[in-house]
Each structure stands twice: as structure tokens, then as C-alpha cells.
Homo-oligomer: A and B are copies of this chain.
Amino acid sequence: MIYPEVLRNAIDSFRKLPGIGEKSAERYALSMLDLSEEDIDNFVSSIKECKSKIRKCKICGHLTDKEICSICDDSNRNPNVICVVEDYKSVFMFEKSGSFNGMYHVLDGLISPIDGIYPDDINIASLESRIKENQEDAEIILALKPSIEGETTTLYIKKIFEKKNIKVSRLSYGIPMGVEIDYLDSITLDRALLDRKEIS
């Protein structure tokens, strides 16, 4: 037992963080000794509140500390354009880029029959209730990852809203910004070729 027990417990706690090994956990636990009482209290209460106060927005399923998230509550945003994402992390990514002014809908998963996840297991029903049939200015933008599960979910949602006569789009596939074409994988290159756009 190299470390005193309470220090050992703190190290074990920090090891629960994603991607943290023994060495970093030791460093973080020891750094607690250098923090002031006030910093420790803030640290502890912020972690506790994170767990107790953060819940899902009743409308879109995004994380919030209120009933309805600040995005759904923002009257300056366009409620008729809904970007459908897999999880709340995607919402934070979109919000950081700052270029989208519509609403979000967090599915909290993707359809994956092989893992026993069917359409009823993710938040698709609540998405349907957000858009009226034949609503002309409405649009569903599907922003799901390019995997079998992502494609399956995309096609499933597309079918639902096609019937309701709602415009459905998905993010474009293609070459990411700033890469060398030589190092691209061939599937991405194939998709970029297939989805090529006329230069106007």
C-alpha cells in the first residue's frame, strides 16, 4: 500500500473518468491537496448538481437543467426546421459551430435490430408529434453517423415523413475540410464522387 487509504480512494475515483490511467489519476488526486477549501466545495457541488439537476428536455430530449432546454425555449430560432441527432453530444457540436438556427431532436440511440434496438426504443414517436402533416415550411434534417445503424434510422425516419408530405434531408457526405486527398479512405472518396455538385 504505497498511498494512504483516502488518497487511494481518490485515485480510484479519478480512474473512473474516461481515458484516465493510473498515472493521470494519481496526478489529479494529488492536485486536490493543492486546491483551496472553496475550490473543493465548488468541485464537489458541481459534480453532485450535474447528476441531480441535469435532465432531458421534454420537447427535444437534449440535456437541460430546466423543464425545457434553452434551445427549445428560444423564440428567435426556427421551430419548423428540426435537426435529428443521435445524442446530446451532437447538439453541443452543432451549437459550437453556431451555424444552425433551427431546433434539435435527440433520438438517444439508433435503430439496430442486431443489438435489439427497434424504432420504439428510441425517441422517434415524440419527433412525429412535433411536425404537422403537410406543413409546407417544415424540414427534417437527419444528422446521423454514416454507419449501418445511422443509415437504417435515416431511411426509417425518411419514410415516416415522406408519407406526411414533409421535406426530409440529410447532411452531405464527402471530403472533410483540410485533408489531403491522398490519405482519404476509398469509401469516402466514392461517396464524394457520387454526390458531386455542379459548380455554378
Binding site for B on A (CB under 8 A): 1-7, 9-10, 12-13, 16-19, 26-33, 35, 37, 39-40, 42-44, 46-51, 53-54, 63-66, 69-70, 89, 92, 95-96
- Whether A46 and B4, one on each chain, are in contact in the complex, defined by CB atoms closer than 8 angstroms, is no
Q: Are B64 and A50 in contact (CB under 8 A)?
A: no
Q: How many angstroms between the C-alpha atoms of A16 and B43 in the bound complex?
A: 9
17 residue pairs from A and B, CB less than 8 Å apart? A6-B50, A6-B65, A7-B63, A9-B49, A12-B46, A13-B42, A13-B46, A13-B47, A16-B31, A18-B31, A32-B47, A33-B51, A33-B54, A35-B51, A37-B51, A40-B51, A44-B48
Residues of B within 8 A of A13 (CB): 42-43, 46-47
In the assembled complex, which residues on chain B have CB atoms less than 8 Å from the CB atom of A30?
89
Chain B residues with Cβ below 8 Å from A35 are 16, 51
Q: In the complex, A18 Cα to B69 Cα: how many Å?
A: 32
Measured between C-beta atoms, what is the minimum distance from A15 to chain B in Å?
11
Closest Cβ neighbor of A44 among chain B residues:
B44
A70 touches B12 (CB 8 A): no
Q: A35-B51, A51-B40 are in contact. Are A64 and B9 (CB under 8 A)?
A: no
Interface-centre pick from A7, A44, A53 (highest chain B CB count, 10 A): A7
A40 to B13, CA, bound (A): 9
**Which residues from chain B contact A48 at a C-beta distance below 8 Å?**
40, 44
Q: A39 to B50, alpha carbons, bound, how many Å?
A: 13
CA distance A19 to B122 in the complex (A): 37
A63 / chain B contacts, CB cutoff of 8 Å:
4, 7, 33
Which of B19, B29, B66 has a CB less than 8 Å from the CB of A50?
Answer: B29
Alpha-carbon separation in the docked complex, A1 to B43 (Å): 20
The smallest C-beta distance from A148 to any residue of chain B, in angstroms, reads 24
